[in-house]
Amino acid sequence: MHSPYPPEKNWTASDGGDRVAIAEPDWTGGRGAITEVLPRQTQLDRPPIANANQILLVFALFNPPLEPYQLSRFLLKAESTGMDVLLCLNKSDLITPEAQQEIKERLCSWGYEPIFISVKNGLNLDLALTRLQNKMTVIAGASGVGKSSLINALIPNLNLRVAEVSGKLARGRHTTRHVELFELPEGGLLADTPGFNQPDLDCTPQELAYLFPEALQRLAEAQCQFSDCLHSDEPNCAVRGDWERYEHYLMFLEEAINRQARLSQQSDPEATLKVKSKGKGKSQYEPKLESKKYRQKSRRTQLQDLQELYRESEED
Ligand SMILES: Nc1nc2c(ncn2[C@@H]2O[C@H](COP(=O)(O)OP(=O)(O)OP(=O)(O)O)[C@@H](O)[C@H]2O)c(=O)[nH]1
Ligand SMILES: [Mg+2]
Ligand SMILES: [Zn+2]
């Protein structure tokens, strides 16, 4: 493969995926000074990784249980990065082949072809490995699904920390605390990341449909009457219809519309309402204060509110 980086320099990949130039490297002693960070080709905000070209979404079939709406949210987030999406369903050893078949058909109707794996039994790990070769892949998924266990199985002698899923909710314990990048034995890079249960979507209402393979399929076959159709109750819509995740689409659409309203109120000081966070994702609209002095102050508070909202979704 042709390297896009100048050969006279020592380019390498750092922990967060940045490509850097190193002066006088001592590869065996693991020393050298970073003199330059190359421009990033792709960048993820959460987890913070630069230059990845594939997302490996790991979900557990059981313990923690597979929740379709949560899986949808992760899939949309993954699709919104524009990277290739690879879906692995782990802990196959905990459910019957019949139940697996049912899930397979269901996800197929969503437009995905998951690889059923079991880190415990070594099932389909070779298949997963071939899909990781020569790519820089970021692992994502909720806590406790087995991301670190999978990396341990793929890379011998690594011994990443893993932990039991615990409690009534069968949640993981956020065992992995930071992002780390590993080299695969057959080539390719893989980044372990801390699990998070509720990634925040940041697409606009107009962009949302393009993150659903089912909607794309429908749009390839027919057109909506209106070019700015949001596919909810407009007449002659090609997307609305009898597909399983259409219901998810409508819920995420509402979320995207609310987020857009919030953002436009923030950036438009003439808006007559402002959003005030009430914590735990609830929000309330309040009349805007007219004085300029107050207006400046309230905008600052809004930013804090928003940061708190993000933090809450991170802690979920
Ligand atoms: N039954 C079964 N258990 C598994 C399998 N893979 C992993 N586990 C168990 O699942 C638990 C969580 O695994 P981890 O690898 O720590 O999960 P993680 O996704 O890295 O979790 P965080 O670091 O918290 O995000 C551990 O007790 C593993 O032993 C599997 O294929 N089958
Ligand atoms: Mg982990
Ligand atoms: Zn439409």
Neighbours of 210 (CB within 10 A): 13
For residue 159, is pLDDT > 60?
A: yes
What pLDDT is recorded for position 81? 87
Ligand nearest to the CA of 232: 3
Average pLDDT over the chain, rounded to whole? 78
pLDDT band at 174 (very low <50, low <70, confident <90, very high): low
Q: What value does the mean pLDDT take over residues 94-117? A: 98
Burial class (CB in 10 A: 0-12, 13-18, 19+), 180: middle
Report the separation in Å between the CA atom of 246 and the middle of ligand 3, taken as the mean of its atom positions.
12
Closest ligand 1 atom to the C-alpha of 176?
23
Ligand nearest to the CA of 209: 3
Distance, in Å, from the CA atom of 145 to the CA atom of 59, rounded to the nearest integer, reads 6
Report the separation in Å between the CA atom of 144 and the middle of ligand 1, taken as the mean of its atom positions.
5
Residue 215's contacts (CB-CB under 8 Å, 6 or more residues apart) are 209, 231, 239, 249
- Write the pLDDT tens digit of every residue in 189-238: 998 877 666 788 889 999 999 999 999 999 999 999 999 999 999 999 99
- Write the pLDDT tens digit of every residue in 36-56: 666 655 555 555 566 789 999
Where is average pLDDT lowest: 6-15, 52-61, 127-136? Answer: 6-15
pTM of the model: 0.73
- The more confidently predicted of residues 98 and 298 is 98
Atom 27 of ligand 1: nearest residue by CA position = 164
- The more confidently predicted of residues 65 and 32 is 65
Cβ–ligand 1 distance for 139 under 6 Å, the answer: no
Q: What value does the mean pLDDT take over residues 83-97? A: 97
Ligand nearest to the CA of 241: 3
Report the separation in Å between the CA atom of 142 and the middle of ligand 2, taken as the mean of its atom positions.
9
For residue 294, is pLDDT > 50?
A: no
Q: What value does the mean pLDDT take over residues 10-16? A: 45
Distance, in Å, from the CA atom of 186 to the CA atom of 134, rounded to the nearest integer, reads 8
Report the separation in Å between the CA atom of 117 and the middle of ligand 2, taken as the mean of its atom positions.
17
Mutate to test the pocket of ligand 1, among 96, 149, 315 (most ligand atoms within 8 A of CB): 149
pLDDT band at 292 (very low <50, low <70, confident <90, very high): very low
The pair of three-digit structure tokens given for residue 186, joined into one six-digit string: 């057959």
Cβ–ligand 1 distance for 195 under 6 Å, the answer: yes
Report the separation in Å between the CA atom of 222 and the middle of ligand 3, taken as the mean of its atom positions.
10
- Write the pLDDT tens digit of every residue in 228-282: 999 999 999 999 999 999 999 999 999 999 999 999 988 876 654 444 444 444 4
Closest ligand 1 atom to the C-alpha of 90?
31
